[in-house]
Amino acid sequence: MEQLPNCPKCGSEYTYEDGNLLICPECAYEWKAGEEAEEEFTVTDANGATLRNGDDVTVIKDLKIKGSSSVVKVGTKIKNIKLVESNDDHNIDCKIPGVGAIKIKQIFVKKS
């Protein structure tokens, strides 16, 4: 008997075949045999707009800089952001004039 691949979403070994699809009974994920699951990293701003590398964003809340007395004010425009995967939800790397390079949570910005 042919060994079916584990589920690419949850890793379950109990996948089964239904026609030309493979199905996971644990998470209900369906995919075609031989097709790799491709998870795309996406970041959305406070309004739900999808952000991409190189976008310009505007700060929607005063942000205190940890370990410093400076503050990033509401309305500050940040150009050319870089998106990074992070465990602590700081998914935006950027440089702010007068402050320097920092990481920001996406819930504090909106797409310009």
What's the pLDDT at 40?
62
Residue 39: pLDDT above 80? no
Count of structural domains, the chain: 2
The CATH number of the domain where 7 resides is what? 2.20.25.10
What's the pLDDT at 78?
96
Domain that holds residue 95: 43-111
Give yes or no: residues 59 and 84 share one domain.
Answer: yes
Distance CA 32, CA 46 (A): 35
User: Model pTM?
Assistant: 0.64
